[in-house]
Amino acid sequence: MSIIEILSTEKYISGSEIGRFLGISRDAVHKRINRLRQIGYTIKSSSKGYIIVKKCELFNEYEIEANLKKPLNICKMIKYYKETASTQTAVKKLALKNFGEGVVVIAEKQTKGYGRIKRVWNSNAGGLWFSMLLKPVIRPDGSSILSLLFSIALSRILEKKYGISSEIKWPNDILICGKKVAGIIIEMSAEQDIINWVAAGIGVNINNSLPEDLKNISISIKEVLKREIDRTEFIVAFLTEFESLYFNFQSGGFKQFLEEYNSKVAYKDVLVTVDSACNDAITGKNFGIDESGRLIIETKNKIEKIISGTLRRAEN
């Protein structure tokens, strides 16, 4: 039970009762109450205790915790920042301090947000910018599959909760009407056969405004639905969806999700080009991915299976 849920009952509740529910001291309760007031909650206090009079409309960790219907192993701790350089940088610092799996770092705004190949990610207020600390029990060469799982989770939420059809552009982008609405980055620390930790960053254009130079290639959910979206509702749905995918993948592999992923693949059965930092660009027909997450491209001479790269439609 979160402090928001406790305070949202229709009666006053004492500091000692709150402390008993949360397993903390009265002094710690007082500090949390002050923190809630600082970020916009109206909390009335009297000799009887505390009660919330008005809920804050801001997006924050307390609302997320209160709306999670059950505890999640992938979300044991939430750290929220109004502004930070990058949630990826923040979560990697926590990983180096030996924090366990299940830390989620969220920012209202990022000043130095980045995606794959350190590309700048525009991260204005109103979007959903967060990173997760994971410690999957898989081989390091299987870490790229995590990006595919995140893609499936995002695609499911868009369709089930908002009725939006989307496509997955291998390996890490979600498209709506051919425009990018979300992106994923996976970074990790590993040894030969063991992953020490994974920092997974996700950015979703929800209610944020997009710069003019990105409007031809990017889109927000608000733009699609013509209304504001509750970001708390979105991230709670996403975390719940991903929790199931994540643990099913570790126990049963990716094959169980292969058909679903390939049904969502962007540029399927058309000519594409894959640019790679290591090899020459490869052009051929896109057949989706195999169960190892490799992109299957049929060139004029043979079938290529590509581990990493940047996918685009082939130029005519």
Half-sphere exposure for 282 (CA within 13 Å, toward CB): 25
Query: Which has the closest alpha carbon to 165: 185, 148, 181, 147?
Result: 181
- Cα R_g (the chain), whole angstroms: 21
Spatial contact of 85 and 129, defined as CB atoms under 8 Å apart: no
**38 marked ligand binding residue:** no
Cα-based distances in Å from 47 to 12, 34, 37, 229, 276? 9, 17, 18, 39, 66
**308 φ, ψ (degrees, to nearest 5):** -150, 160
SS3 of residue 198 by DSSP: strand
Q: Map residue 10 onto helix, strand or coil.
A: coil
Closest CA to 299 of 288, 284, 279, 278: 284
Q: Is 110 annotated as a binding residue?
A: yes
- The amino acid sitting at 123 is S
Please state the residue numbers annotated as binding site. 110, 180
Please state the residue numbers annotated as binding site for biotin. 110, 180
